[in-house]
């Protein structure tokens, strides 16, 4: 595997490649990331991964500095997956000057849910992903459904900018007890780790309530938030939304059996976890 940090060298290395499959990451790779690499391999060749902890998508009080950086271990994992190039730019490589041109997702998608609780997050994500796409020029790029809203925003960005990159969605990888794999799970202490699967159980309970025909969605969401709070979680949201645009379903949408997803973000101790489940 070639490890490349400069944009110029990356372009030289990939010149003439028309079927590149790309998986952008922030490193600290776990089985979920590796499943993205395998999916990428099914859709293109060569597979290019990136590791870049993108300062633009972290708020001032978020965990940019303590975000886990495990470069050597990540390299070994990617080598085993047969990744052809690892693009690992430094901040100077990717942002040699302040990144003043940004991608601003529309408020009705980028300003809700995660966007409401993490202002600027999707601006930072979209900006870096567009820039990484410009560096790698992939035919396909793989994103996990674990970050459901992110996936949707990147998809819409690719469509609206007519990017020549197909966005592929990968299923969420879960531990045996249901907890969605995430680099931030590493922040949990043993007691919190034992409690963490309750978030997925909550999503399942909400999904069952909706499937059973209940239409009082706000009430279902409130009950779920209250149940989390009694177990000492601090939920930001539990939200049943339409899969098509992440807006709340109307009575008519429910009657028409519109495809739905339930999304959540909640803090357990100092760790903020997100998860979702298609209903």
Binding to ligand PAF in span 47-66, by CB under 6 A = 54, 57
26 binds ligand PAF per the rule CB under 6 A = yes
Binding to ligand PAF in span 149-188, by CB under 6 A = 150
Token representation of residue 77: 């994992």
Stretch of 21-29, 222-230, 231-239, 257-265 lying at the interface with ligand PAF (CB under 6 A): 21-29
- Burial environment of residue 143 by CB neighbours within 10 A (0 to 12, 13 to 18, 19 or more): buried
* Per-residue x/- track, 181-220, ligand PAF (CB under 6 A): ----------------------------------------
- With contact defined as beta carbons under 8 Å apart, do 168 and 142 qualify? yes
Please identify which residue in the block is written with the tokens 């080598």: 79
Q: Does the annotation count 30 as an active-site position?
A: no
44 binds ligand PAF per the rule CB under 6 A = no
Of the residues 81, 114, 147, 209, which one makes contact with ligand PAF according to CB under 6 A = 147
- With contact defined as beta carbons under 8 Å apart, do 246 and 149 qualify? yes
Q: Which residues lie below 8 Å from residue 206, measured CB to CB, with a gap of 6+?
A: 220, 221, 224, 238, 240, 262, 277
- With contact defined as beta carbons under 8 Å apart, do 119 and 82 qualify? no
Shortest distance, position 208 Cβ to ligand PAF, whole Å: 29
Of the residues 129, 170, 263, 274, which one makes contact with ligand PAF according to CB under 6 A = 129
The residues annotated as belonging to the active site are 33
């Amino acid at each position: 595997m070639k490890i490349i940090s400069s944009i110029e060298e990356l372009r030289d290395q990939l010149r003439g490649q028309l079927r590149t499959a790309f998986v952008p990451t922030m490193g600290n790779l776990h089985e979920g990331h590796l499943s993205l690499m395998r999916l990428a391999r099914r859709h293109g060749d060569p597979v290019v991964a990136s590791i870049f902890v993108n300062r633009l998508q972290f708020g001032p009080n978020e965990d940019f500095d303590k975000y886990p950086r495990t470069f050597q271990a990540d390299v070994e994992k990617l080598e085993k997956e047969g990744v052809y190039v690892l693009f690992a730019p430094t901040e100077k490589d990717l942002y040699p000057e302040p990144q003043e041109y940004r991608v601003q997702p529309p408020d009705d998608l980028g300003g809700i849910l995660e966007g409401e609780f993490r202002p600027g997050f999707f601006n930072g994500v979209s900006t870096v992903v567009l820039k990484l796409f410009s560096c790698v020029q992939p035919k396909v790029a793989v994103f996990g459904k674990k970050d459901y809203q992110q996936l949707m925003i990147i998809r819409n960005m690719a469509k609206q900018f007519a990017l020549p990159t197909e966005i592929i969605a990968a299923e969420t990888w879960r531990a045996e007890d249901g907890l969605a794999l995430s680099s931030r799970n590493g922040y949990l202490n043993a007691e919190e780790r034992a409690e963490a699967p309750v978030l997925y159980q909550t999503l399942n309970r909400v999904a069952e309530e909706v499937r059973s025909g209940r239409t009082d969605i706000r009430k279902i969401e409130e009950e779920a938030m209250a149940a989390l709070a009694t177990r000492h979680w601090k939920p930001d949201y539990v939200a049943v939304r339409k899969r098509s645009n992440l807006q709340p379903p109307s009575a008519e949408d429910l009657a028409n059996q519109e495809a739905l997803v339930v999304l959540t973000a909640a803090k357990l101790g100092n760790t903020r976890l997100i998860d979702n489940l298609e209903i």
